[in-house]
Amino acid sequence: MILGNLIVIIISLLPLCLLLTAISVNPPGQINLDTHQYIARAWVGDCIEVKYEITSKRGLGLFSVFQEIPPHFSLVEGNNFRVFWKGWKTQKFIFGYKICCTKRGLYKILRPEWEANHPLYLKSSTSGTLGETFI
């Protein structure tokens, strides 16, 4: 009778230990965005290549990067939304795409926004954005 209850107690402690281990893991953090290429002026029909180098130093899990495109620009190549998996070590990622100007005017291109999630979604997500770029 005592041995039977001991096995049940040990089996029930295993998920608790796994949960405590998972909670101790932090989602990706210290995400920095560096501009690779930037063109300050474009005419109608000109294409602009937007590239960022993303560095994540802490945590483990998924993080997504999104950059809003002004209304009178068309996406020609690439994608303005990417999802990355960050491992234990510091990692660098390249995020880029090409847009073409379809109408004249002064447009504001916001810096990319990012959102990081815990690998098992046990902690709340973190997000951020950095500055603005004018074209």
**Angstrom distance (rounded) from CA 74 to CA 46:** 11
Half-sphere exposure of 132 (CA within 13 A, CB side): 6
Cβ–Cβ under 8 Å, residues 118 and 58: no
Task: Determine how many CB atoms are found less than 10 A away from the CB of residue 44.
Answer: 11
CATH number, domain of 112, equals 2.60.40.10
16 in a domain, yes or no?
no
Total count of domains within the chain:
1
14 in a domain, yes or no?
no
35 in a domain, yes or no?
yes
**Model pLDDT, residue 135:** 43
21 in a domain, yes or no?
no
51 in a domain, yes or no?
yes
**Angstrom distance (rounded) from CA 24 to CA 54:** 25
Q: What is the pLDDT of residues 8-23, one digit of tens each?
A: 888 888 888 888 888 8
3 in a domain, yes or no?
no
**Angstrom distance (rounded) from CA 23 to CA 135:** 43
Q: What is the pLDDT of residues 60-104, one digit of tens each?
A: 888 888 888 888 888 899 898 999 998 888 889 888 889 888 888
50 in a domain, yes or no?
yes
**Angstrom distance (rounded) from CA 37 to CA 51:** 6
Q: What range does the domain containing 102 cover? A: 27-134
Cβ–Cβ under 8 Å, residues 38 and 49: no
20 in a domain, yes or no?
no
What is the average pLDDT across 53-58? 86
Instruction: Give the global pTM.
Output: 0.73
**Angstrom distance (rounded) from CA 133 to CA 135:** 7
Cβ–Cβ under 8 Å, residues 70 and 108: yes
Nearest to 59 by CA among 34, 84, 30, 92: 30
